[in-house]
Structure 1
Amino acid sequence: MLFDDTYYTIKYPAEGTFKDKGSKFLAYAFPITHEEQVKPLIIKLKSEHGKARHFCWALRLSPDKSIFRINDDGEPSGTAGRPILNTLLSNELTNIVVVVVRYFGGTLLGVPGLINAYKSATIEALKNSCKTEKTINDCYKITFDYLSMNEVMKTIKDEDLTVHSQFFDSTCSLNIEVRKSMLIKVLKRLEDIDTLKAEYIRTV
């Protein structure tokens, strides 16, 4: 294989807790695939923790880990979102958001104390999470004449491809998912089938 076509995320939500000088830091890790999923999660946590002072978070998205966001939610700049994100980086995780809910204990922790607290709470949540390895896959829409059906279905079975949707008529279409490292081989085989056309949709 010429490149790495796998990435790590978490299977299920997980939680972790860290305490320092009366302040309590509750970390919540969630698997996500879109940035739009974050706001409802934070709204839910705010409804559950009405007396908490801060809801700081960091996310990392996409199989190539290229998208990230951080939010210090009122904490001194760089003391909350960045340490959360750095913990995700060091654990090589993506498609994940960690929200740390802080209950203020009355004693200021200072910049080093805050950085340590947000990092430590995140570490605890990740320790309690179930990490999983996923492959990077490309989704394609393939269209073909009904007469080519047997050949198409044999290829799908041989190459163990995932079919997301299908439409059968005189002209048929399938939405399929192909592992990135298998792409050249699979597309070559499909495009050798008479009448078949393959159209790229997205990478997942």
Structure 2
Amino acid sequence: MEDRYRTVARGGVYESEVKRSRFLCTLAPADSEEAAQEVVRAVRKEHAAATHNCFAYVIGPQGRLHRASDDGEPGGTAGTPMLQVLLGREVRDTVAVVTRYYGGVQLGAGGLARAYGGAVSAALDAIGTVERRRLALLTVTADHQRAGRLENEIRAAGHAVREVSYGADVTFHLGVPEPEVAAFRGWLADITAGGAACAVEGTAYVTLAP
């Protein structure tokens, strides 16, 4: 199982022009085929008057589920180049839809492939990607007296803090690489003199701060 992968940072649209044809690349996170298809449907509805709405998506940390569509462009000139960009840049859980408004100039097979693949590549550069890593999900509980210093120490150590909740005690929800859990427990005991509790609540992919 992959322990880390990259995905698009957020949803967004990037527009480019090639020989008077407009290309609008919509990128969005999608962690299932259903979510990806919903984005495709939404773009096709929004741009129903467009000449083509081609798509490609890659689902899962290993990218085993992927699909592409030329949506009427010559076979292999749109969806496949788009998919190749996503796979080549190791972007996962992402859907790309490239909307084309024809500008009256034929691009040829090579020109189409460059235009569609280039639209996805440029959109990824503009919108950006983030890393997601498979981490053990930990809850650390401490009293209010220790909590401020403990939070500073946790963040300074580079651990991914997902949430902090306040009640009778303060609970930190964070992610730690599985091989490092034992070391984290020891570190926590040292800096709190045994005054904090730590529990593991499974694993999940967590988006890391850029």
Please classify the TM superposition score into its range, dividing by the shorter chain length: 0.5 to 0.7
Preserved CA contact (<8 Å) 1:54 1:74:
yes
Partner of 1:159: 154
Structure 1 partner of 2:18: 19
Structure 2 stretches lacking a partner, 5+ long? none
Counterpart residue type for residue 27 of structure 2: F
The answer to whether the 8 Å contact 1:19/1:25 transfers is: yes
Matches within 5 A, 1:131-142: 131-134=128-131, 136-138=133-135, 140-142=137-139
**Counterpart position of 1:202:** 204
Whole-angstrom CA distance in 1 between matches of 2:39 and 2:167: 39
Q: 1:65 & 1:180 partners in 2: Cα distance? A: 22
Flag the 1:177–1:111 CA change in 2: closer, same or farther, 3 A. Answer: same
Letter in 2 for 1:15: Y
Aligned length: 195
Partner of 2:100: 102
Structure 1 residues 106 and 40: CA distance shift in structure 2, 3 A: same
In the TM superposition, 1:53-202 aligns within 5 A as 53-62=51-60, 67-104=65-102, 110-127=108-125, 129-134=126-131, 136-138=133-135, 140-142=137-139, 149=143, 153=147, 157-160=152-155, 161=159, 162-164=161-163, 166=165, 168=167, 175-178=173-176, 183=181, 185-187=183-185, 189=187, 196-202=198-204
1:27 counterpart SS class: strand
1:52–1:183 distance in 2 versus 1, CA, 3 Å: farther
**Aligned-residue CA RMSD in angstroms?**
4.2
| Residue 100 of structure 1, CA deviation | 0.7
Moved more, 112-121 or 150-159: 150-159
Letter in 1 for 2:131: K
Provide the secondary structure at the position in 2 that maps to 1:117: helix
Which amino acid counterpart does residue 159 of structure 1 have in structure 2? I
Is residue 16–residue 122 contact of structure 1 (8 Å, CA) maintained in 2? Answer: no
1:29, 1:96 within 8 Å by CA — same for their partners in 2?
no
Q: Partner letter of residue 68 of structure 1?
A: H
What TM-score, normalized by structure 2, do the two folds share? 0.64
Equivalent residue of 1:136, what SS?
strand
CA gap 1:104/1:195 in 2 versus in 1, 3 angstroms: closer
Residue ranges of structure 1 left out of the alignment (5+ in a row) = none
Pair 140,123 (structure 1): closer, same or farther in 2 beyond 3 Å: closer
Q: Name the CA distance, whole Å, in 1 between partners of 2:30 and 2:150.
A: 29
Conservation of the 8 A alpha-carbon contact between 1:27 and 1:101? yes
